[in-house]
């Protein structure tokens, strides 16, 4: 069977770890030429080497997406390498201070943290969306997938203010962009993951008692693994989703079906 992405050049931000890396690996298997972007130069290069050993064509670009000048410069370099057919705008950080901790409460919530999280998750997403759309518009085609979050849709007691604000805004910007981009033949959709096992909270796995609190709020009883998002991302960055744009697709082990009341007892510590 012909591979889904043969001959397609696909851009992934946050490609050195977690969800972005899983998508990069799966799109390599589907024949894509990869353009991988991350601010972590060491991990990015390690992953690129591993992908190339499996036969993938990989370009790497080190970029902090929160820095508009870096994004402009790097996307100009990406443009020089040829057309971009698909993009997974995924880079992001977590909020670190959940509202169920003293540091996370309104009285104490750090403004520095607020600006840092908004600066990466929202500003950085917007800068990369601008430049990615600009690459695709002249060609009259393209597919963009954005990593949002279930916490952009509903309140979640174990998440901080900056993170939920950033992800709700990411969903809004992506849906707004779907209106503009449709006439250019560009589709944009959001994947809203629930809890996935990645490096977002640091390289060490969560302590079992903390993981158990999270898992209690997930009907399937566990965190997701990044490859469990691959199929949806692959569908959305392909011609098989030709009537899909402006959508927000939840992948959360059923967590969103729980009500806020069910979640009330959840405590971080």
Ligand X SMILES: NC(=O)c1ccc[n+]([C@@H]2O[C@H](COP(=O)([O-])OP(=O)(O)OC[C@H]3O[C@@H](n4cnc5c(N)ncnc54)[C@H](O)[C@@H]3O)[C@@H](O)[C@H]2O)c1
Active site residues: 163
What phi, psi does 33 have (nearest 5°)?
Answer: -90, 125
> Distance between CA 220 and CA 255 in Å, rounded?
8
Near ligand X by CB under 6 A: residue from 16, 58, 169, 251: 16
Q: Examine residue 164 and tell whether it contacts ligand X (CB under 6 A).
A: no
Under the binding rule (CB under 6 A), the answer on residue 36 touching ligand X is no
- Which stretch, 36-44, 78-86, 98-106, 209-217, contacts ligand X (CB under 6 A)? 36-44
The span from the first CA to the last CA of the chain, in angstroms, equals 51
Work out which of 143, 198, 215, 245 binds ligand X, going by CB under 6 A: 198
Closest to ligand X by CB, 14 vs 86, is 14
Smallest separation, CB 211 to ligand X (Å): 12
* Cross-sheet strand order for the sheet of 142-147: 58-62, 33-38, 9-13, 86-89, 142-147, 186-193, 248-251
Residues 199-218 that bind ligand X (CB under 6 A): 199-200
The answer to whether the CB of 86 falls within 8 A of the CB of 144 is yes
Residue 23 touches ligand X, criterion: CB under 6 A? no
| Stretch in the footprint of ligand X (CB under 6 A) among 13-21, 98-106, 107-115, 153-161 | 13-21
Q: Six-digit token pair at 244?
A: 């899909």
Report phi then psi at 112, rounded to 5.
-60, -45
| x/- letters, 96..125, toward ligand X (CB under 6 A) | ------------------------x---x-
User: Does residue 251 belong to the site contacting ligand X (CB under 6 A)?
Assistant: no
- Strand locations in 79-122 (E): 86-89
Angle value at C-alpha 171, between 186 and 177, nearest 5 degrees: 30
In the bound state with ligand X, the residue whose beta carbon lies nearer, of 15 and 181, is 15
Closer residue to ligand X (CB): 142 or 253 = 253
Given a contact cutoff of 8 angstroms between Cβ atoms, the answer to whether 135 and 75 are in contact is yes
Which residues of this chain interact with ligand X, rule CB under 6 A? 14, 16-20, 38-40, 63-66, 90-93, 120, 124, 147, 149, 193, 195-196, 198-200
């Amino acid at each position: 069977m012909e591979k889904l992405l043969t001959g397609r050049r696909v851009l992934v931000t946050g490609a050195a770890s977690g969800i972005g890396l899983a998508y990069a690996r799966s799109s390599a298997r589907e024949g894509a030429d990869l353009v991988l972007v991350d601010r972590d130069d060491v991990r990015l290069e390690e992953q690129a080497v591993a992908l190339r050993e499996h036969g993938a064509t990989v370009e790497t670009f080190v970029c902090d997406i929160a820095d508009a000048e870096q994004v402009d410069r790097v996307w100009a370099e990406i443009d020089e390498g040829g057309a971009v057919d698909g993009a997974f705008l995924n880079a992001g950080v977590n909020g670190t201070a959940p509202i169920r901790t003293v540091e996370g409460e309104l009285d104490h919530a750090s403004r520095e943290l607020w600006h840092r999280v908004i600066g990466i998750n929202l500003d950085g997403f917007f800068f990369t969306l601008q430049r990615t759309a600009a690459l695709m518009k002249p060609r009259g085609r393209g597919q963009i997938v954005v990593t949002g979050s279930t916490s952009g849709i509903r309140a979640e007691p174990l998440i901080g203010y900056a993170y939920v604000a950033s992800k709700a805004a990411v969903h809004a910007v992506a849906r707004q962009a779907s209106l503009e981009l449709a006439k250019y033949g560009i589709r944009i959709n959001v994947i809203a993951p629930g809890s996935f096992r990645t490096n977002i909270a640091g390289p060490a796995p969560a302590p079992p008692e903390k993981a158990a609190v999270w898992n209690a709020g997930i009907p399937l009883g566990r965190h997701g693994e990044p490859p469990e998002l691959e199929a949806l991302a692959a569908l959305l960055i392909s011609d098989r989703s030709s009537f899909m744009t402006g959508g927000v697709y939840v992948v959360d082990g059923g967590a969103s079906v729980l009500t806020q009341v069910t979640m009330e007892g959840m405590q971080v510590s």
